Structure 1
Amino acid sequence: MLKPTLVTLPETKLVGKKRSMSLLDNQTQALWQDFMPNRELITNRIGNDYYSVQNYSTDYFETFNPAKSFVKWAAVAVDAFENIPNDMESFILPTGLYAVFEHKGMDTAIFQEIFTEWLPNSTYILDHRPHFELLGERYKNNNPNSEEQIWIPIRSL
């Protein structure tokens, strides 16, 4: 059974690149390949973590449709929106409560478990704020030993 940590995220400023995509037309790899070569141009960076952010429409989760589009970001945290590289944009993660799941490996079934088992059996509902994965020093792309945090926005019933 999944046991998340509940964390209130303070407002977090991000700088990065975004792309509209769907689960069927997943362009995550292309987004990161576009972002990573110029990441060092971002000034005012806080820490070494990367943020893989999904920004969904208000009706995205009403009916599952793998062709429905959302906006995905590849980004880093900053303490100020100054000197943003020309081909990048700013984004703010608003403050709010998150269920944070530690995840190891490449199995994406954890998302189904979160939304079909953990969330319905908790005292929380999904909140309309961005979802994200925090990719820290233990993250290793396409590696079975990779570790990341999955942040799901929630609020009390």
Structure 2
Amino acid sequence: MSIEFVKLETKEAFTVVGMECLLSPIEAPKIWHPFIQNIHLIENRVNSTVTLGVCDDLNQRYIASVEVNKLDAVPEGMVSFVIPANEYAVFKHKGSIQGINESFQEIGKWLHQNNYKGTQKPPFFELYDEHYQGENEESKFTIYMSLVKI
């Protein structure tokens, strides 16, 4: 497992649609299977090869989701969520998804060493694209950590 800082990036607000669960190391992985089985129900997807894992820390929930460019309807059993405009530190995680906790520890160290702190709006989201391979050690995905300078 490795984590690499990629860049600082400012993103405009955007909307996601997906399935939510309690924010926990046990519950969050469980939501992905039913979400992927029903992903075809979501209209107006921005990118058909990208999914997002959104941490809504304020409400203690995790949302397996996709970005939409227009919110016409939210399928039954799903929610919509607006990720507000924010500045992010962007990191690339390489390795099995099982190493994600170590990646977040390294991200915390990077934030501290570079005089940043995370925010709670939401604190982070994970971007999974065609490079994501689950348990495979060659798997890659991107973590966007919202931040402010201290």
Tell me if both proteins adopt one fold, taking TM over 0.5 as the criterion: yes
Considering fraction of residues, name the structure with more helix.
2
Q: Deviations over 1:3-61 (max 9, x none)?
A: 331011111110001011323xx11232011211110111100012100111113xxxx
SS in 2 for 1:4: strand
Which consecutive unaligned segments of at least 5 residues does structure 1 have? 58-68
What aligned pairs does 1:77-116 form with structure 2 within 5 A after superposition? 77-106=67-96, 107-108=99-100, 109-115=102-108
Which consecutive unaligned segments of at least 5 residues does structure 2 have? none
Alignment TM-score, normalising by the size of structure 1: 0.85
CA distance in 2, matches of 1:103, 1:41: 29
Partner of 1:72: 62
Deviates more, 1:1-10 or 1:94-103: 1-10
1:142 to partner: Cα distance: 1.5
Find the structure with the greater CA-based Rg: 1
What aligned pairs does 1:1-157 form with structure 2 within 5 A after superposition? 2-23=4-25, 26-47=26-47, 48-57=49-58, 70-106=60-96, 107-108=99-100, 109-115=102-108, 117-130=109-122, 131-157=124-150
1:83 to partner: Cα distance: 2.4
CA contact (8 A) 2:4 2:93 kept: no
CA contact (8 A) 1:2 1:118 kept: no
Alignment TM-score, normalising by the size of structure 2: 0.88
Amino acid of the residue matched to residue 156 of structure 1?
K
SS in 2 for 1:35: helix
Amino acid of the residue matched to residue 69 of structure 2?
D
Amino acid of the residue matched to residue 33 of structure 1?
H
Task: Extract structure 1 runs of 4+ deviating beyond 2 A.
Answer: 1-4
Change (3 A) 1:123 1:21: closer
Q: Deviations over 1:55-98 (max 9, x none)?
A: 113xxxxxxxxxxx820000000011112211211101111000
